[in-house]
Structure 1
Amino acid sequence: MRIATWNVNSVKARLPNVLDWLRTADPDVAVLQEIKCETDGFPRFEFEALGYNLLIHGQKSYNGVALLAKAPIEDPLTGLPGDNADVQARYVEATVRGVRVGGLYLPNGNPVATEKYPYKLGWMDRLRARAETLLAAGQPFVMGGDFNVIPEERDAADPAAWVGDALFLIETRRRFRALLNLGLTDSWRALNPTAIGYSFWDYQNRAWQADNGIRIDHLLSSPEIADRLDACIIDREPRGRDKASDHTPVIVTLAE
């Protein structure tokens, strides 16, 4: 079973790239972030033509997440529990082939001196609570998406450039570690313990050409799923295409 995450940075703007990648990579499940369209505006026909069932949680012009699965989607959930007043479309969750898959677009949190950073931290606290609920239920799960978290210095080509940024502040990284301390596994790091790899390169200052990237797209696995980890790769190829997203896919392969 292959599960992928990709921040596509507007599904309509990147549609040819996204569809071509899905045909080539052929993941069983894919979670997409920053689709940047309302639920009814998602280009369903094109994805269904590739054999995917869809769970969409959209928002006009901003945010938006989607879950695509070749198998039936069961027990769908849209929106991260814990705050009924939160209207931002950042979370989907469903069961596919016995695995609970959560797709998330964690808030960026910048500028730090505004309300955006407390919102990020509060969202991370709610995500931890959701993980605790799934663990208590004994549900095998993967939480994948754009976490907007640089876990360690080695996950940035230029760590000094991120000092003071919401993606790298100690409180952000503490909350990410709190997820891992529940017993979750950072799938890519577990299978690539000494590797350097990035999943995001800014459009500015020729960051892609200079490989000045950061690793902020993660697939966190529950203990049952961690036991099934077979491979996890960062697929750099889509980032080099014309009209590319500034993120690139991350894919985990699970043994049956």
Structure 2
Amino acid sequence: MKIATYNVNGVNGRLPVLLRWLAEDAPDIVCLQELKAPQDKFPQAALRDLGYDAVWLGQKSWNGVAILSRVGEIHETRRGLPGDDGNDGEDQSRYIEAAVAGVLIGALYLPNGNPHPGPKFDYKLRWFERLIDHAAGLLASGLPVILAGDFNVMPTELDVYKPERWTDDALFAPEVRAAYARLVDQGWTDALRHLHRDERIYTFWDYFRNAYGRDAGLRIDHLLLSPALAPRLIDAQVDRHVRGWEKTSDHAPVWVTLGDESAPAARKRRA
């Protein structure tokens, strides 16, 4: 089973790119972020024509998340994280959770947090704490769970082109990196890093200064597997070429392949 995450950066404006990738790569389950579409403007019909059912949480501005499936019915279990982040009661469209094909999927779009320091950075940290608390509860359930999405975090210097240029950015701030480490240390497996331990492998390249051509990228899109799911990990990759398509997102799709429940333990690193 192939499970992917993709910050599509505007689901309607980039729908041809999304549909092309889905048709060519055929992932079984997909988590989307940054829909930039109200709830009633999500392109459900176009996705259904490709065989994908969907649940989504839309928002007109920069947010919005969705889960797509072509391998079974989607049973939505949660919209939004539990708790209060102190954002004047406004619960942004950043988290949706569903059970699909025997796996619990949490699709998320963590706040950017810039400018740093400032109120947006404080909000990012509060939202992160809510995620950490919820993730602990998911692990306690013992279920096979995957947290997938745009975390807006570069966990280590290996995950950023020229780290010295990002010292003042919220995505690379020590507090944010520490929060990500605390999350993973609960028992989650960072799938891409687990199988590519020493590689500079990126998931995002901005639109400026030929970042994609120079491979001046960042790794900010992650798939975290619970202990009940991690032994089924077979492969993890980035569809880097999609970032080079015309009118595409500044992110590339990231995916994992999982074996069935009887699959052997994952390779500790790729050959």
What secondary structure sits across from 1:123 in the alignment?
helix
- 1:102-181 alignment to 2 at 5 Å? 102-181=106-185
Residue number in structure 1 paired with 2:218: 214
Residue number in structure 2 paired with 1:41: 41
Work out whether residues 8 and 32 of structure 2, in 8 Å CA contact, stay in contact via their aligned partners in 1: yes
Residue number in structure 2 paired with 1:55: 55
Residue number in structure 1 paired with 2:99: 95
Residue number in structure 1 paired with 2:69: 69
Structure 2 residue ranges without an equivalent (≥5)? 261-271
Segment of structure 1 superposing worse, 57-66 or 70-79: 70-79
What secondary structure sits across from 1:149 in the alignment?
coil
* Aligned residue pairs, count: 256
TM normalised by structure 1 equals 0.98
Work out whether residues 55 and 76 of structure 1, in 8 Å CA contact, stay in contact via their aligned partners in 2: no
1:177-211 Cα distance to aligned partner (Å, 9 max, x none): 00111000100000111222100001111111111
Mapped to 2, the partners of 1:57 and 1:228 lie a distance apart of 29
Amino acid across the alignment from 1:80: L
Mapped to 1, the partners of 2:200 and 2:116 lie a distance apart of 27
Amino acid across the alignment from 2:81: L
TM normalised by structure 2 equals 0.92
Residue number in structure 2 paired with 1:240: 244
CA RMSD of aligned residues (A): 1.0
Amino acid across the alignment from 1:152: T
Residue number in structure 1 paired with 2:202: 198
1:63-102 Cα distance to aligned partner (Å, 9 max, x none): 1111101110114321122128232100111011110001
Mapped to 1, the partners of 2:12 and 2:256 lie a distance apart of 25
Mapped to 1, the partners of 2:10 and 2:165 lie a distance apart of 26
Segment of structure 1 superposing worse, 71-80 or 81-90: 81-90
1:22-47 Cα distance to aligned partner (Å, 9 max, x none): 01111111000001001111011000
What secondary structure sits across from 1:19 in the alignment?
helix
Structure 1 residue ranges without an equivalent (≥5)? none
Mapped to 1, the partners of 2:82 and 2:236 lie a distance apart of 28
What secondary structure sits across from 2:153 in the alignment?
coil
Amino acid across the alignment from 2:27: P
- Give the C-alpha shift of residue 245 in structure 1: 0.4
Amino acid across the alignment from 2:244: G
Residue number in structure 2 paired with 1:250: 254
Amino acid across the alignment from 1:238: V
What secondary structure sits across from 2:131 in the alignment?
helix
Moved over 6 A (4+): none
Residue number in structure 2 paired with 1:227: 231
